[in-house]
Amino acid sequence: MLRREVRLPVVRIPEAEPLPILIEGDDRLRQPARPVESPSMETGRDIGRCFATLAAFRRQHGFGRALAAPQVGIPLRLIAIDLGAGPFAVINPQIRWRSEETFELWDDCFSVPDKIVRVRRNRSISLECRDEQFRTRRWDRLPPDLSELLQHEIDHLDGILMTDRAVSADAVRSANERARLIDAVRPVRRLSLARIREAAQRIDPVFLNSPQVVSESISKELGCTLTLKVEINNPVRSFKGRGADFFVGRLEGAKPLVCASAGNFGLALAYVCRKRGIPITVYAARSANRLQVERIRALGAQVGMDGEDFDAAKEIARAMSAASRAQMVEDGAIPEISEGAGTIGVELLARGDVFDAVLVPLGNGALINGIARWIKAASPTTRVIGVSSRGAPAMAESFRSGPGGRIVSHASVDSIADGIAVRVPIPEAVDDMHGVVDDVLLVDDGSLLEGIKLAHRHANLRIEPSAAAGLAALLESPDMFSEQSVATVLTGSSVTDEQAREWFGEAAAH
């Protein structure tokens, strides 16, 4: 049984007018702020004023990630942050852990507008805080760029300015050097929040606003509050339509396309290309799901079946592209495909739901990178965790080698979940994961099968093994998510008649 969850806000954040920003020399900047004791209408108004001031500054200057309430004369331990996906509040932050490793950087500040200052910060911190609805949030092991940002803003709550942190007498420069010393070294991500927002408006509505439901019975069995994002009720029966539609919709002209696919991506591209009159050739491994191949052909695509597995089929597709004028479309390598998938992250958070963790099936990385890019900007305390098959660990091993680390490939894979059975990772996709994906878990085929049966038994949903990766992780690691609010994406429903009889005791509908 599935039910839709409704959460009522504790604090309303009203529209407000921006306030003047206090400038160095104002004594109010030197007074330690007092804690917010409880949610109230006045707290909501204060948050609204901080949000409005931050937004006005960003509109005027084109930058600005955070503002502490004391900077506008509100003496509360309250920080407004906007990382590009909309503002959120950090209330009563307390640093619970600091890394021993530190680093130096050039810092800037709204309240010291004519200077930039060389400061030293801990490379990572963990903190506990309240959000604007006064719910307790934990933010563990922040990446360096967010770690330094939160340390700067917490200093404001303690009456400390960045000039107090100057590492040396010559560590203060003119703000005219900001672009060279600050903007040029801040991380630039390949995936765009603005394009994810654009995708949420441009993608064919048949792929958007998929069911987002809490299963009470699965939650009870797994010991957590579990939200299912169900991506199988659309014309291609998977999440892949989002990225395919956004990518193809932004192409100029009707140049032929070629891709490799285990099934779902090829089906999605065939669907959106037929709609736009663009020729498409899909290469699949000889072992590919025959039902999916039939569906791809039925949509007018040319299909070539060759190669022992998906990665071998991809090499054949790449050679065909090089020998013709067809454009190679590599799922996971093209930003727009991930950004289209990122609209799932937009929808997950759009109702105000709060998640401790979001579990995402991890294949080539297109899905998790889009979702994580949005979530880490809109709800950074939410952990985004990829789930791969233990029989296909290449993405997990490559990710664990760290930023700029080694790409780990394998000679073969052994998994029932072909949608996440990646043998040769895409370097760009692995790079995209760093800084937004918190962890990757590996699960057994047995757990994937138990996951699809769990979804069928409790929610009457028929999903493919790859789609059950998040459920498998909950089955294998219940203590990791005990009593937490968790979401997972049920990514596809490619099930043959034989599989349906074996797994569910029934025939699959074509």
Closest CA relative to residue 357, chosen from 459, 214, 227: 227
Task: Convert 218-247 into a string of H (helix), E (strand) and C (coil).
Answer: HHHHHCCEEEEEECCCCCCCECHHHHHHHH
CB-CB contact of 90 with 129 (8 Å): yes
Q: Are 355 and 486 in contact (CB under 8 A)?
A: yes
Our CA angle for 451, 311, 247, nearest 5°, is 80
Q: How far apart are CA 287 and CA 204, in angstroms?
A: 31
Q: Do the Cβ atoms of 183 and 175 come closer than 8 Å?
A: no
- Report how far residue 224's alpha carbon sits from residue 334's, in angstroms, rounded to the nearest whole number: 35
Parallel/antiparallel/unpaired status of strands 136-139 and 172-174: unpaired
The residues with which 34 forms a beta bridge, in sequence order, are 76
Contact between 393 and 385 under an 8 Å Cβ cutoff? The reply is no
- For this structure, is 336 an active site residue? no
CB neighbour burial string for 368-401, b if at least 16 within 10 angstroms, e if fewer: bbbbbbbbbbbbbbbbbbbbbbbbbbbbbbbbee
Per residue, the 3-state secondary structure of 244-271, as one string, reads HHHHHHCCCCCCCEEEECCCHHHHHHHH
Q: What is the DSSP letter of 15?
A: -
Contacts of 346 (CB under 8 A, 6+ apart): 196, 197, 200, 374
Q: Which of 132, 153, 330, 347 is catalytic?
A: 153
Give the helix, strand, coil percentages of the chain, each rounded to 5: 40, 20, 40
Q: Which residues are catalytic?
A: 153
